[in-house]
Structure formats: structure tokens, C-alpha cells
């Protein structure tokens, strides 16, 4: 029996919500370990659709949810999300949700500086959500962050706000944006404290006890490997590390406890926001993929860019992300296309590469080298066994498996939880 970490193997939005929900039904604890409320998971359970940003997906299945120290937490957003899912019938209490007491808080000044910077970039925007995630992580590594535990210490809050405002108000004024008053921020934090602190604890201790007791732990990543701050398409990335190694540091558990790393990839490729996208389609096929796949961001509602499956990018994510097996989602979206292209390499400045280069201009210049495969005329939608898949769909899956150099352990063929073909159970590894 292995604990499982789930991470995206592309640029996010790969359908992790459904997969995590499917796995959470057999886990005891589900842990979010990085990111903030800039990421989202959509879970379809019966006639209910849950859109989660900060809350671990396991709460939908009645499992203990933990928000780890690697997550940056907007307390207002967290409380609003709790209130919203409660109206859908979910029980979210300090008995079902725990929050790392050493997690960093996102304040209104973080989102203000985020938006002001993005406006100042003009045409060179990175494509952030404007929700303050990046600035909050900056404060964390700059050793001036306000953390959950500080809510219990009004004097600490007051002292830390002095330092925060010295830094951020200077930047905001320089960008021509409105600055913040200390007392208003302090009053807001003290108002929120009694609502947030009942959820807080040293979650690393609870996780250690659970591991020793043999309980199944599912680590739920946000975003994806190619948005990793080190290994992604920098600077068009998120502000945290998204690889599986972060599941350990972002929750306070030893790396040996992670177990099986499950990567999630769509049967094609999508991306939200700016940045390089070698296989992007600007034609009718790209439009068709977006319409069939309902490609709009869970958090922002932004339309996703769509393109062919990029095997080189996913192979890179497998290597840097520590992925042991892949889930291939949305295979049904490709039904009926006469031909399918898979990127098997790039041309960059006369050189042929099997990986995206690190340089920003080189990434932008990467031209895909395609391998073309025949499409399938039957439907893969709702298939729950290999026998129900068209033969050419199976060939497509097997070819992807060869190119990315990782086994495909699960194939998803529709939005419902049971529209799933399991080849190998990650928890039984």
C-alpha cells in the first residue's frame, strides 16, 4: 500500500479534480501542498458540481482534508469557499479540515501589487490571476510573511504589518496604485482570527501519526510541472514548485512517505494565460477541442488555448516531476478526428531537441515536429474497459506511453467518475 501524490504533467487544467476525487474515495486523508486560490478543481458527483480552489478535494467524499504549509492562504477566500460548499451540503468543520499553522497568508495588499505589476507590464503580461499568490510567496522567502499562527498573537501581527507596509506601500506608490493603512489591515486580521484559528494545527504531526498508523494519504497538487517555478516555462510559470518533491516540503512529511507519483495529462494540450505553446492550434481543430472539452479555467473562467498532444513536454514533466505513472484524460474529446498529431521533437535555431529549452526566446521559437496518426471513427466516450475502446484509440494511447517513457495507468473517457479505465491501482503499488 502506497501513499499517492497527484500532479499535473502539462500546464494545468488536465482534469486532476476528477482523478483526485476518484482516488480520494479510497484514501483516508487528502492534502493540498502548494499553490493558492489561483488553481481550481472541478468535481462532478452525481448531479452536483463542486468547484474547489483551496479546499482539498477529499472533503467531497467525507475524508479529512489538510491544507499544508506550502499553500499560501487567503483567509477571506477560504472562508467564502467553506460557506459556498456548505450550501451544497458538504460538512466543513475543524473536525474535517485542518490548516497548517505555519502556512503563509495572502492579504489584500498582495492582490493589489499583483494587479498593479501586471498592468505595468502592458503587452508583456505573464498572465497571473491577480490574486496575490506570487507576492505572498515573495514575502515568505523574504522572511516578512504573516502566517496563520500569527493570528493568535496581535502584537506580532502589528509588528509584521509595519515591515510589510514599508515594503509594499513603497512598491504600490511607485506603480501609481493606492497604498494601504495599517489599522484597517490589522482590524481585518483580528476579525478573521477567531474564524480561522479553530482549523489551525501543526499538521506535520498529524501526518506523521497517520503514516505510522498505515493510513492512506493522498497528496493533491495544483497547477502542473510545466508551471513549476524552476522546471517550467519560466517566467510564464506559477510562484511555487509544483513537482512531487514539494508534497513532502509543502506538508511537513519525509520524502520517503510520498510513495507513488501519479501524473495527469490530457489526450491533447491546453494552456491558460501567456507563454510558449509549441503545439497550439489557431484553426478550426483548436476551436473544436476547446468546445468539446469545455476548455475554460475553473477559477478565472478564461478560455484555454488548445493544441496537439506534446509528448516531449510530458516526457520532460515525467523526468523532472518524478512521475511513476500517467492518467490520460479527455480521450473522448478526440473522437471522430480523421488524423491526430503528436509532437515528438522541436526545431530550435536549426537544432533538433526532445525537450523545451530553458531560454525564454528559445522556448518561443520552438517549432514542433509532428508524428501523424490515424484517428478513430467510433466513440471512446464513457468507455470503462479496453474492450470498449476503438482499436485506433488504443494505438494512440500506447504510442503516447512509448514517447513519454512512462506507463499510462488510468485512462479517463468522460467527466463522470466511473468513465475510467484503470490499468494499475496507484494505492496498491
Return the active site residues.
13, 41
Q: How many residues does the chain have?
A: 429
* Helix-helix angle 311-321:391-404, to 10 degrees: 50
Beta bridge partners of 280: 307
The contacts of residue 96 (CB under 8 Å, 6+ apart) are 59, 62, 64, 65
**CA nearest 323: which of 401, 407, 251?**
407
Q: Which residues of 406-428 are buried (b: 16+ CB within 10 A; e: fewer)?
A: bebbbbbbbbebebbbeeeebbe
* CB-based contact 118:126 (threshold 8 Å): yes
DSSP 303: B
CA 89/CA 78 separation, integer angstroms: 17
CA 13/CA 28 separation, integer angstroms: 25
DSSP 53: S
Question: C-alpha distances in angstroms, 212 versus 28, 206, 219, 229, 257?
Answer: 13, 10, 16, 32, 10
DSSP 147: B
Question: C-alpha distances in angstroms, 389 versus 382, 397, 411?
Answer: 9, 10, 10
Helix (H, G, I), strand (E, B) or coil at 338: coil
Q: Phi and psi at residue 70, in whole multiples of 5°?
A: -80, -10
Amino acid at each position: 500500500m502506497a501513499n499517492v501524490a497527484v500532479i499535473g504533467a502539462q500546464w494545468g487544467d488536465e482534469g486532476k479534480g476528477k482523478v483526485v476525487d476518484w482516488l480520494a474515495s479510497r484514501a483516508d486523508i487528502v492534502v493540498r501542498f502548494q499553490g493558492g486560490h489561483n488553481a481550481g478543481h472541478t468535481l462532478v458527483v452525481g448531479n452536483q458540481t463542486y468547484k474547489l480552489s483551496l479546499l482539498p478535494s477529499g472533503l467531497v467524499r467525507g475524508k479529512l482534508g489538510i491544507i499544508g504549509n506550502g499553500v499560501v492562504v487567503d483567509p477571506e477566500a477560504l472562508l467564502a469557499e467553506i460557506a459556498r460548499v456548505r450550501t451544497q451540503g458538504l460538512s466543513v468543520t475543524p473536525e474535517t479540515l485542518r490548516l497548517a499553522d505555519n502556512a503563509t497568508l495572502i492579504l489584500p495588499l498582495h492582490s493589489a501589487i499583483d494587479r498593479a505589476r501586471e498592468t505595468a507590464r502592458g503587452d508583456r503580461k505573464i498572465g497571473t490571476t491577480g490574486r496575490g499568490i506570487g507576492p505572498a510567496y515573495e514575502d515568505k522567502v523574504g522572511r516578512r510573511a504573516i502566517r496563520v499562527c500569527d493570528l493568535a498573537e496581535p502584537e506580532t501581527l502589528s509588528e509584521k504589518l509595519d515591515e510589510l507596509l514599508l515594503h509594499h506601500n513603497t512598491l504600490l506608490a511607485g506603480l501609481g496604485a493606492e497604498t494601504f493603512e495599517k489599522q484597517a489591515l490589522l482590524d481585518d486580521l483580528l476579525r478573521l482570527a477567531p474564524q480561522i484559528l479553530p482549523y489551525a494545527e501543526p499538521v506535520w504531526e498529524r501526518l506523521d501519526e497517520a503514516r505510522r498508523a498505515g493510513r492512506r494519504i493522498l497528496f493533491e497538487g495544483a497547477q502542473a510541472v510545466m508551471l513549476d517555478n524552476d522546471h517550467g516555462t519560466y517566467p510564464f510559470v506559477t510562484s511555487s514548485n509544483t513537482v512531487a518533491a514539494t508534497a513532502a516540503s509543502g506538508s511537513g512529511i519525509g520524502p520517503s512517505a510520498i510513495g507513488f507519483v501519479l501524473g495527469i495529462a490530457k489526450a491533447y494540450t491546453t494552456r491558460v494565460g501567456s507563454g510558449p505553446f509549441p503545439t497550439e492550434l489557431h484553426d478550426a481543430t483548436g476551436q473544436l477541442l476547446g468546445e468539446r472539452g469545455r476548455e475554460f479555467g475553473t477559477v478565472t473562467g478564461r478560455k484555454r488555448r488548445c493544441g496537439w498532444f506534446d509528448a516531449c513536454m510530458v516526457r520532460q514533466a515525467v523526468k523532472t516531476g518524478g512521475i511513476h505513472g500517467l492518467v490520460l484524460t479527455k480521450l473522448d474529446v478526440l473522437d471522430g478526428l480523421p488524423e491526430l498529431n503528436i509532437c515528438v521533437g522541436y526545431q530550435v535555431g536549426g537544432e533538433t531537441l526532445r525537450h523545451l529549452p530553458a531560454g525564454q526566446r528559445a522556448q518561443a521559437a520552438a517549432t514542433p515536429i509532428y508524428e501523424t496518426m490515424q484517428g478513430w471513427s467510433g466513440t471512446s466516450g464513457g468507455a470503462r474497459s479496453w474492450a470498449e475502446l476503438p482499436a485506433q484509440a488504443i494505438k494512440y494511447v500506447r504510442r503516447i506511453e512509448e514517447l513519454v517513457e512512462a506507463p499510462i495507468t488510468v485512462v479517463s473517457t468522460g467527466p463522470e467518475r466511473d468513465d475510467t479505465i484503470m490499468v494499475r491501482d496507484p494505492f496498491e503499488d
